[in-house]
Chains A and B, each alone.
Chain A
Amino acid sequence: MILAGLLGCAAALLLTGAAALALHGRRLAAPVVYGVSLVATTIGLLLAGRALFSPDLPGGTLSLPIGLPWLGAHFRLDALAAFFLLVINLGGAMASLFAVGYGAHEETPGRVLPFFPAFLAGMNLVLMAADAFTFLFSWEFMSLSSWALVMAHHRRPGNAAAGYLYLLMASFGTLALLLAFGLLAGPSGGYEFAVIRQTPPGAAVSAVVLVLALIGAGSKAGLFPLHAWLPLAHPAAPTHVSALMSAVMTKVALYGFIRIVFDLLGSPAWWWGAAVSLLGGVTAVMGVLYALMQNDLKRLLAYSTVENIGIVFIGLGLSLAFQANEMQAAAALALTAALFHCFNHSVFKSLLFFGAGAVLGSTGERDMERLGGLIHRMPRTAFAFLIGAAAISALPPFNGFVSEWLMFQAILLSPNLPQWLLKFLVPTVGALLALSAALAAACFVKAFGITFLGRARSDVARDAVETDGWSITAMLVLAALCLLAGILPGYFIDALAPVIDALTGSSLPRQEQLDWLTIVPIAQSRSSYNGLLLFFFIALAASLAAEAIHRFASAAVRRSAPWDCGFPDPSPATQYTAGSLSQPIRRVFGTVLFRASEEVRLPPPGDASPAQLRVRLHDIPWDVLYAPVAGVVGFVAGRLNALQFLTIRGYLTLVFGALVALLMVLAVWQ
């Protein structure tokens, strides 16, 4: 029974969390906790893979007499849950492996070790839940355990505020989901997913549920403009937890959205697709532009998560639009692209966060302006990070390109959509997707180039040492996965087929029998891509060129000072910095979107003080959306505070007045 095994893994993780409390202060605590987490998530990964790759196996349902007395706790394993279980347990296993080495840097292990396995267990339980109560309980458990991890270093400046905002947004999101499930269950109160599925709500209720799901799951995933907490909270946690939150927890949020909208809500209306894909497009471009403006490596990665979530939502929106118009094959293609991108993002984002963690562990720095030249000191980390950067920039032959390619193919099928709004919207979304892909490449040139290339910008960067073997292993495994999914995408697409089939009633043609492992989403005459051949040709051409040149021309090398147009300056301060590298892009896009302004202050002649360039960026959603709400809440709270300092007579009058008012309401009501 696979489901029971997976639940057992979750229970083992919970127990490990409890055991970590008992082990507090022991030296062996960290390796034991991370080791057990590694084993449990690996077993979970294998079980989920078995469930996904043999769809004839009975998925199984299970109900346990815990939770609400009249409801119990229901669990179910279907293809969708199995796919996401595979993604999160892969991410969890890699994070545990990385943490076996990285955890040694932790100065307050007592604040991390109990919550790490609990967080993993919470995510596993969300995916297996088959009733609203269990789902929301696990969801909240996941949120709170990750909040505790964000607060692990709560004394560092900014972290407490980040944790507070995260807590607020997480509660707000859960509230929205609670209302969504309330509407889905209807007045009869059927909270089991199986019951909800049989009684799809009417059009108006469905629309409200869609909006609530967008708010609830979207705020957790980082959908613009609900993303504000994400770039603050994700980097605040210890790095292996940042990787889990950014690469894995956002996938749980996407699962929640897919479960509600694609599975429980019945057949979609066409405008759902329009709304979701437009939100996705805006999220993608805004996310990557924010990322480009960052100088903090971990925050850059967190903003890039926002971008990738946007890309996934574009695919989901397209799939909804196609489904509403009964174009099942196209819907299957768009959903395949979205889910494949989910998997890809979890792989390369984990890898990139691990790289950032290795840098942080070795130098104590996240600020790229104080890094540089690490490729000499940490060559293996640099290599793995480079692969991840190329993959996330959607460059062939890596995996990020394949999912974006599939997304473009889905967009090219959409002129047949009958609605006029969609006809205008989909090409726009396509342009936003293309723009975000190009900007992502620029963003990761910055992330890799400033951190690892060039000359060291500080003493800590100059004296960095390569990270430990566990961390390197985790990074190299993920880098290999990036390449494998890029050159053999057919197998990954085939593995997704049962999921797609369950949600859209159609799936892509089988890919694995095609010649040379090409992928052909629709028809050979229409489009095809072969990552394996491209990889092979590039490798062949590069090695042929190297061999021919070294043999017949010259292989001589002489080292000297850099040329730099004849004026090499020994100071590393003359290099381009993170801020200056993205300055042209800031000038082009930022003047409108961030109301960016630059102020140059040159000292007068004779004054030896340094010149200053001050760049001011505005976070417009924050100024427009969050700041007013926070202001109103603060104002009202301040006024209501007066109620706490009344005299006894004042309180008595207040109670009496309230009683009279309630009685009057009651009288009018009847």
Chain B
Amino acid sequence: MILELAVQFCEMLVVLLLAPLLAGYVRTVKARLVGRRGPPLLQPYRDLLRLLRKEVVLAHSASWFFRGAPYLVFAATWVAAALVPTFATGLLFNYAADMIAIVALLGTARFILALAGLDVGTSFGGIGSSRELMIASLAEPAMVMVVFTLSLLAGSTQLSSIAGFMQGPGVGLRVSLAMALVALVMVAIAENARIPIDNPATHLELTMVHEAMILEYSGRHLALIEAASFVKLLLYVSIIACVFAPWGIAASGQGLGAYLAGLAAYAGKLAVAGFLLALFETAIAKMRVFRYSDFLGAALMLGVLATLLLFVSRIA
């Protein structure tokens, strides 16, 4: 019990501490790929600390909701990330939320952030919220369909059980799994505001979605929102890793050695995933806003098709 609690606590700390590193790593790799030196690997930590120490400049028209929102967004995202198996499955509180609930928790965070974008009453906040809502209205159902596919295969919506199933012998190569993987990656790109949907590096107002929504935030509020978006990126990478690359992940009660091995394997997966993300982002151009629906509609269709295939291929 004590060990389990400690592992769960470690998990919470690991996602929080590794998340800025992943973001910094992706930035560095991207810079190297286009021939620049790029910022130091630890720059995101420095940014967060600097922001935390600064005072908050609050618009006159900001309400109590605007001030509370960053804490709630951060907390919801962090809790969701802490419930995804990273280096070990069967964590103490895994049963509190299955994959559907984790998706919905991210939905809660987005709901609050989209509202916060409207609070000050500026045009840029509105533009960000409005586009974010459009993206979410397609990305979230696509994600639910991916969850359907995985849980129909594994017979469970619990991420731990799904990871266990994917490690086992009963998986094999399946068309629906491939479709689910593609759909999941597309959703992850859209949800984390990466190219081709959104550009995390842009500061040209009309091309940004996430950055426009949080334009009025500053100081510690901004730090929390930035931390939440780092954690969210890590969360999606963890989901993909734990479902589609479950190797080396420690099962519950395997002892300290297995946990350490799991941690090493997890770090390796993050490195590979971050490199692939950077590679993809350098190779592709950003889309026009009204092409998003094609991109996300494709993800949704892939998800639906994957689920349909499973329904049809199931022998009663």
Contact = CB atoms under 8 A, between A and B. Distances in A.
A191 B97 CA distance: 49
Contacts of B105: 396, 534
B125 A576 contact: yes
Interface stretch (B23-31, B74-82, B233-241): B74-82
B111 interface: yes
Contact of A538 (B59, B60, B75, B151): B75
Interface in B276-291: 289-290
Contact of A564 (B96, B107, B122, B155): B122
Chain A CB within 10 A, most for which of B95, B131, B137: B137
Chain A CB within 10 A, most for which of B79, B127, B156, B293: B79
B61 A454 contact: yes
A450 B137 contact: no
B215 interface: yes
Contacts of B158: 525-528
A21 interface: no
Chain B CB within 10 A, most for which of A390, A412, A448, A583: A412
B224 interface: yes
Interface stretch (B140-148, B193-201, B251-259, B262-270): B140-148
Nearest to A523: B156
B243 interface: no
B262 to A, nearest CB: 21
A454 B61 CA distance: 7
A649 interface: no
Given A530-B97, A534-B105, A562-B60, A427 B120 contact: no
Contacts, number: 293
Contacts of B65: 375, 382, 386, 453
B64 A575 contact: no
Contact of B74 (A376, A449, A542): A542
Given A527-B98, A576-B130, A588-B293, A427 B122 contact: no
A427 B93 CA distance: 30
B174 interface: no
A588 B130 CA distance: 13
B311 A581 contact: no
Contacts of B78: 541
A637 interface: no
B290 A587 contact: yes
A529 B220 contact: no
Given A373-B121, A564-B215, A445 B129 contact: yes
Contacts of B289: 584
A238 B291 CA distance: 43
A549 B271 CA distance: 30
Given A415-B314, A584-B289, A576 B151 contact: no
B119 A454 contact: yes
A393 B106 CA distance: 13
Nearest to B105: A396
- Interface of B, secondary structure class, is helix
A228 B58 CA distance: 45
A88 B55 CA distance: 51
Contacts of B121: 372-373, 453-455, 562, 572, 575
Interface string A107-124: 000000000000000000
A588 B138 contact: yes
A445 B69 CA distance: 14
A542 B59 CA distance: 23
A497 to B, nearest CB: 22
Interface residues of B, number: 89
A431 interface: yes
Given A376-B63, A560-B58, A581-B133, A415 B311 contact: yes
Interface residues of A toward B: which range?
Answer: 35 or more
Contacts of B58: 557-560
A524 interface: yes
Interface stretch (A12-20, A76-84, A417-425): A417-425
B61 A373 contact: yes
A266 B314 CA distance: 30
Contacts of A556: 55-56, 219
Contacts of B74: 541-542, 545
A412 B157 contact: yes
Nearest to A402: B101
A568 B122 CA distance: 8
B205 A401 contact: no
Contact of A439 (B104, B127, B137, B148): B137
B124 interface: yes
A371 to B, nearest CB: 12
Contacts of A608: none
Contacts of B124: 564-565
A131 to B, nearest CB: 41
B1 interface: no
A539 B74 CA distance: 11
A434 B122 CA distance: 31
Contacts of A542: 71-72, 74-75
Given A438-B140, A575-B122, 20 more contacts: A394-B107, A396-B97, A411-B148, A424-B308, A430-B307, A437-B141, A438-B136, A439-B137, A442-B137, A449-B119, A537-B82, A538-B72, A539-B75, A541-B78, A554-B220, A556-B56, A557-B55, A559-B60, A576-B130, A580-B130
Q: Report the 6 A-B pairs with minimum CB-CB distance, sorted nearest first.
A: A576-B126, A454-B121, A556-B55, A584-B134, A455-B121, A541-B75
27 contacts: A405-B100, A405-B104, A408-B144, A408-B157, A412-B157, A415-B152, A427-B304, A427-B308, A431-B145, A437-B140, A438-B107, A441-B136, A450-B118, A453-B119, A453-B121, A454-B120, A527-B98, A529-B97, A545-B75, A554-B54, A554-B220, A556-B56, A562-B120, A562-B121, A565-B215, A582-B130, A584-B131
Interface of A: 372-373, 375-376, 379, 382, 386, 390, 393-396, 401, 405, 408-409, 411-412, 414-418, 420, 423-424, 426-428, 430-431, 434-435, 437-439, 441-442, 444-446, 448-450, 453-455, 516, 518, 524-530, 533-534, 537-543, 545-546, 549, 553-554, 556-565, 568-569, 572, 574-576, 580-585, 587-588
